[in-house]
Amino acid sequence: MVRLILMLVLLAAPVLAQDRGTLQLELVLDPREAAPIEGEMILATIRGIYRETITNEELKLRDMTDFDWTRLGQDAWTDERIDGRMAKVFERRIALYPKRAGTLEVLPIAHELQIISIDGVRSTVLVRSDPVRLEVQAKPEGAGDDWFPVRALEISDSWDVDAARLVDGQSVERRVVLRALGATPEMMPPQPALREPWLITFTPPEERDFQVTPQGPVTTLTWRWTLRPITGEPGVLPAVTIPYFDTAARTARTVTLPAAPIGYASFADNAARGWRKDLGVGWPHLMTGAAVCLLVLALALRDRGLPTHLRDRLERRRMLRRLRRYARAGDAEGFRLLAARLLNGAGPHADLRDMPVLATLDRALFGHARTAPPPLGALYGQVKREKAACLRNTAPDGRATGRPVTPPPSPVSPGAPSGTVRWPRRDAR
């Protein structure tokens, strides 16, 4: 009888200890500003406060209908003074993921402890937490199977060689790394299929890495594709967009794999060479020919539509520039012929007889005693001034208003008949 009473007391001791507040377990949710959305990570801490000597323990967190959960790191045991008394504090970080919207309940969590009394008697105690209820909002309208709520998402895209300039028969590997904070591997999006009719694609299995932190799980996916064009013609892989919901900013976002050209460098080189061969000339020749055509067209049309006095002025300027070139080159005969046409109106059948301003040059070229011609530079200035004086003495209709200049006697060549002038046999340039 005494033994029976003693056994009942020992079995009831853990319950009495829990009733006295020596064993306490609770689920503490992290504070948040907004209600969670379906599938969003909810951080929580399982916290136990024990004032018993514990020799062994096991936390029993069973599967739940309305939540998925994952453990975040190792359990922590510390000694703390609470309400003036020392206690052992147990903490485990977990992440909860609601499966649906509505008022959901986190079921009680059980912590099985083996304790030893002051008398050295061992016993097993099951400590349970109270259930926790919370409101979960529905995911936005239009969100389908690709609903992907995370706290942060990063993406990187790299190629082992330049995909746009492959060597004939060469393959290229594309590597994409997707890293998400607040997502488990089961939540990550599937690997895109980079398939085109002109492309051979080999897709090895994706690589997954799962790490836990106090702020939530971090899942890293590594996608690889080995690509090789079937033909040499370059192609472009289209962009791939991955939508997700940023739970920190409470807004929908996307990350994008950019479009990428892929092809053999030899195809582009052959196409460029074939283009030049078909035309027969290169781009520099084409540009030069186009410039020449434009110049000829401009020269042909530059005087059309201009008034008569403007055309005459442009012609005088061109003749004066040519006359100055003859003077600089020392070409006396060409200078004489062009100066005579300039002073007589530069017509095609102009009277090329003697001019007073050219008398010195005429004596040097056509006199009985051939002498050196005068300085053509100074004579150019005289011709230019003489032409200007003639223009000032000419009415707008072409009639002379000033006193005509009397020409001197014509220079006669030795042995030539009287009145015959020997002119240089050359055309005006």
Instruction: Please report which confidence band the pLDDT of residue 190 belongs to, taking 50, 70 and 90 as the band edges.
Output: very high
Tokens matching residue 7: 């056994």
Predicted local confidence at residue 52, as pLDDT: 92
Asked if 147 contacts 84 with a C-beta cutoff of 8 angstroms, the reply is: no
Asked if 79 contacts 121 with a C-beta cutoff of 8 angstroms, the reply is: no
Predicted local confidence at residue 289, as pLDDT: 75
Place of tokens 């530069």: 346
Place of tokens 């200890």: 17
Place of tokens 């690589």: 207
Predicted local confidence at residue 70, as pLDDT: 95
User: What is the separation of C-alpha 373 from the centre of its chain, rounded to a whole number of angstroms?
Assistant: 71
Predicted local confidence at residue 156, as pLDDT: 96
Task: Quote the CA–CA distance of 102 and 67 in Å, as a whole number.
Answer: 12
Looking at CATH, the fold of the domain delimited by 2-136 is given as Immunoglobulin-like (2.60.40)
Residue 165: count of CB within 10 angstroms of its CB: 17
Domain boundaries, the chain: 2-136, 149-263, 267-301, 303-429
Tokens matching residue 308: 């008569």
pLDDT reading at 419 higher than 70: no
Task: Quote the CA–CA distance of 177 and 332 in Å, as a whole number.
Answer: 85
Residue 237: count of CB within 10 angstroms of its CB: 21
Q: Over the stretch 350-371, which tens digit does the pLDDT of each residue have?
A: 454 556 778 877 877 777 667 7
Tokens matching residue 202: 């080999």
pTM of the model: 0.57
Task: Quote the CA–CA distance of 327 and 84 in Å, as a whole number.
Answer: 118
Predicted local confidence at residue 17, as pLDDT: 41
Torsion sign, CA atoms 358, 362, 363, 365: positive
Asked if 101 contacts 136 with a C-beta cutoff of 8 angstroms, the reply is: yes
Asked if 239 contacts 258 with a C-beta cutoff of 8 angstroms, the reply is: yes
Asked if 96 contacts 42 with a C-beta cutoff of 8 angstroms, the reply is: yes
Asked if 227 contacts 207 with a C-beta cutoff of 8 angstroms, the reply is: no
Asked if 214 contacts 72 with a C-beta cutoff of 8 angstroms, the reply is: yes
Asked if 220 contacts 188 with a C-beta cutoff of 8 angstroms, the reply is: no
Q: What is the mean pLDDT of residues 232-253?
A: 93
Task: Quote the CA–CA distance of 391 and 22 in Å, as a whole number.
Answer: 126
